[in-house]
C-alpha cells in the first residue's frame, strides 16, 4: 500500500475521532520516528506520552518476542510466571503502603477501577475532581474529566462528581460532604495544559483526606514512570496516595493499565466485583517488566530532570525573544508552552521540519518526548520552533499590515 492508500483507508473505515495529521509512521528508534518516505522526525509527541523509554527498545522487543513464543493468553483466574515478575516489580517501585494491583489495559480503565474501589471501600459515592482534569472518556472516567466538549453530548453522566478549581485548597475543603468518597487528582495536569499546582497543594489534600477519612486517588497515567523527573510525580510533594492510576508508558508501548492501592482498600473488591479479560495479559506483562527495568537501569527519571531543565531553559530563552509566548512551564520532560494565539500552524510547521509536537488546548504546545531524547535533539527542536514561530509571527504581521 502506498501512503495515499493507507491514509484513505483509515479516513474511510476508522471511526473519525482523532484530529489527524497526514504522516504515516513506519518505524521508530529511541526518540526518532520515520515516515513511509524515510523522512525523520524527533518525536516530542511520544504517542501522547507512551514512549518514555524510546521507540522499540531492544529489551522490550526481546521480552515481547520471548513471551510470544511461549504463552500469549492467560486469564487472571490462572497463574503465570511473567505476571508474578511484573507484580513484584510494581510493588517494589511504588510506596510500601501500596501493595495490591489491579491490571487492566488503559488509563481510563485504571481510573474506572479506582472510582469503583473508592465507592466500595468507603460506602460513599461523591468524588471531588478538578477543573481542567483529564481522566479518560469511558462513562465513569468521563464524569471525572472536566472538558465540556467531551462531557456534554453524553449527559447524564455518573452523578456525584464535583469539580473545583485546581490548586485551590479552600474550594476543595468547601466541596467535601459526609458522602465524599475520594478526591481524584493529577499531580500535574496534562491534557489540561501542563498545569503544575502550588507546592503545598498535594500535601494539603493529603492532610485533608486523612482528616476527613477520604481516599486520595493520584492519576499518574501521564506523569508516572519518570516523566517528571521522579519515578512518580507525587514524590515531588512528599505524599503517598491511597490509590494510584497508571497506564500510558507502563509497558513501553503495549497497552496496559494498573490501579495500585493500599491492601485494605483493594481488599474491598470481592470475587467478581471487577475484572478484565485481558488484564494481566502475559505479553503486556513481559513488555512492562522490561520497561520498568529499563527505566531503572538507564536512570531515566534523572535523565528527565536533567534534560527537562535544559529543555525548559531553552524554551524560556524563546519566550524572552517572542512576545507571542505567554509562559513556559512543566516538570522534567512534561513541558507546556503557552502562546497568545492558536498553535495549530506551529504544529504543522514543525512537522514539515521534522519535529512532532502535541498541543494541550488551542494555545498550548505540549512536549512529551521519550526520556532518552538527547541534548542535541532538544537543540534541534528549539531551533526549529524558533524558525517556525518567527515565520508565523511574520505572517501575522503581514496580515495585520495588509488589513
Ligand X SMILES: *Cc1c(COP(=O)(O)O)cnc(C)c1O
Candidate ranges 172-180, 218-226, 312-320, 376-384; the one touching ligand X (CB under 6 A): 218-226
Nearest distance from C-beta of residue 248 to ligand X, angstroms: 6
Q: Which residues within the stretch 236-295 sit at the binding site for ligand X (CB under 6 A)?
A: 247-248
Does 180 bind ligand X (CB under 6 A)? Our answer is no
Regarding 111 and contact with ligand X (CB under 6 A), the answer is: yes
| Shortest distance (Å) from residue 136 CB to ligand X | 4
69-78: which pairs have CB atoms within 8 A and are 24 or more residues apart? 71/282, 72/281, 72/282, 72/283, 73/281, 73/282, 74/280, 74/281, 74/282, 75/277, 76/103, 76/275, 76/276, 76/279, 76/280
Asked if 108 touches ligand X (CB under 6 A), the answer is yes
Question: Closest CB to ligand X among 83 and 135?
Answer: 135
Measuring CA to CA, which residue among 305, 132, 138, 321 is closest to residue 226? 305
Minimum CB separation of residue 69 from ligand X in Å reads 28
Write down the least CB distance from residue 300 to ligand X, Å: 18
**Of the candidates 186, 242, 338, 359, which one interacts with ligand X according to CB under 6 A?**
186
φ, ψ at 140 (rounded to 5°): -70, -50
- Distance from the Cα of residue 68 to its chain's centroid: 27
The answer to whether the CB of 213 falls within 8 A of the CB of 248 is: no
Alpha-carbon span 161 to 157, nearest angstrom? 9
Nearest distance in Å: CB 182, ligand X = 15
Site for ligand X in 340-399 (CB under 6 A): none
Report the chain's C-alpha Rg in angstroms.
21
How far is residue 260 CA from its own chain's centroid?
A: 16
Could you give the string, one character per residue 129-148, with x where binding to ligand X holds by CB under 6 A and - elsewhere? -----xxx------------
- Is 192 or 308 the residue whose CB approaches ligand X more closely? 192
Cα four-point dihedral sign 95, 99, 104, 105:
positive
The residue from 46, 190, 241, 282 that contacts ligand X (CB under 6 A) is: 190
Question: Which range binds ligand X by CB under 6 A, 158-166, 215-223, 235-243, 321-329?
Answer: 215-223
Q: Minimum distance from CB of 349 to ligand X (Å)?
A: 26
Binding residues for ligand X, total number by CB under 6 A: 15
Place of cell 537543540: 379
Nearest to 230, CA basis, from 215, 245, 220: 220
C-alpha–C-alpha distance, residues 201 and 167, integer Å: 6
Is 222 near ligand X (CB under 6 A)? yes
Binding site for ligand X (CB under 6 A): 106-108, 111, 134-136, 186, 190-191, 219, 221-222, 247-248
Amino acid at each position: 500500500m502506498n501512503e495515499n492508500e493507507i491514509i484513505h483507508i483509515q479516513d474511510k473505515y476508522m471511526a473519525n475521532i482523532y484530529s489527524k495529521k497526514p504522516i504515516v509512521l513506519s518505524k521508530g528508534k529511541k526518540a526518532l520516528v520515520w515516515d513511509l518516505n524515510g523522512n525523520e522526525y524527533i518525536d516530542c509527541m511520544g504517542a501522547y506520552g507512551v514512549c518514555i523509554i524510546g521507540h522499540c527498545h531492544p529489551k522490550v522487543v526481546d521480552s515481547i518476542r520471548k513471551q510470544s513464543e511461549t504463552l500469549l493468553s492467560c486469564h487472571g483466574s490462572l497463574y503465570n510466571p511473567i505476571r508474578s515478575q511484573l507484580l513484584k516489580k510494581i510493588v517494589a517501585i511504588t510506596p510500601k503502603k501500596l501493595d495490591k494491583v489491579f491490571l487492566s489495559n488503559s488509563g481510563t480503565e485504571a481510573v474506572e477501577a479506582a472510582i469503583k474501589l473508592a465507592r466500595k471501600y468507603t460506602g460513599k459515592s461523591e468524588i471531588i475532581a478538578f477543573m481542567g482534569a483529564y481522566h479518560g472518556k469511558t462513562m465513569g472516567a468521563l464524569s471525572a474529566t472536566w472538558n465540556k466538549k467531551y462531557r456534554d453530548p453524553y449527559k447524564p453522566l455518573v452523578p456525584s462528581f464535583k469539580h473545583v478549581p485546581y490548586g485551590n485548597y479552600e474550594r476543595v475543603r468547601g466541596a467535601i460532604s459526609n458522602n465524599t468518597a475520594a478526591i481524584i487528582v493529577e499531580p500535574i495536569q496534562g491534557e489540561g495544559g501542563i498545569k503544575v499546582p502550588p507546592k503545598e497543594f498535594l500535601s494539603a489534600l493529603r492532610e485533608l483526606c486523612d482528616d476527613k477519612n477520604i481516599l486520595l486517588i493520584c492519576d499518574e497515567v501521564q506523569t508516572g514512570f519518570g516523566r517528571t523527573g521522579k519515578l512518580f510525580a507525587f514524590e515531588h510533594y512528599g505524599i503517598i496516595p491511597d490509590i494510584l492510576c497508571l497506564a500510558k508508558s507502563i509497558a513501553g508501548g503495549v497497552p496496559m493499565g494498573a490501579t495500585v492501592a493500599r491492601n485494605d482498600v483493594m481488599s474491598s473488591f470481592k470475587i467478581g466485583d471487577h475484572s478484565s479479560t485481558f488484564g494481566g495479559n502475559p505479553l503486556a506483562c513481559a513488555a512492562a517488566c522490561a520497561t520498568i527495568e529499563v527505566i531503572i537501569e538507564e536512570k531515566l527519571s534523572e535523565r528527565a530532570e536533567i534534560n527537562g531543565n535544559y529543555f525548559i531553559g531553552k524554551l524560556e530563552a524563546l519566550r524572552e525573544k517572542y512576545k507571542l509566548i505567554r509562559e513556559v512551564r512543566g516538570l522534567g520532560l512534561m513541558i507546556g508552552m503557552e502562546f497568545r494565539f492558536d498553535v495549530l500552524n506551529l504544529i504543522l510547521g514543525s512537522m514539515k521540519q521534522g519535529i512532532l509536537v502535541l498541543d494541550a488546548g488551542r494555545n498550548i504546545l505540549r512536549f512529551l518526548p521519550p526520556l532518552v531524547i538527547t541534548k542535541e535533539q532538544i537543540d534541534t527542536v528549539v531551533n526549529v520552533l524558533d524558525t517556525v514561530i518567527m515565520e508565523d509571527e511574520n505572517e501575522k504581521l503581514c496580515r495585520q499590515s495588509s488589513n
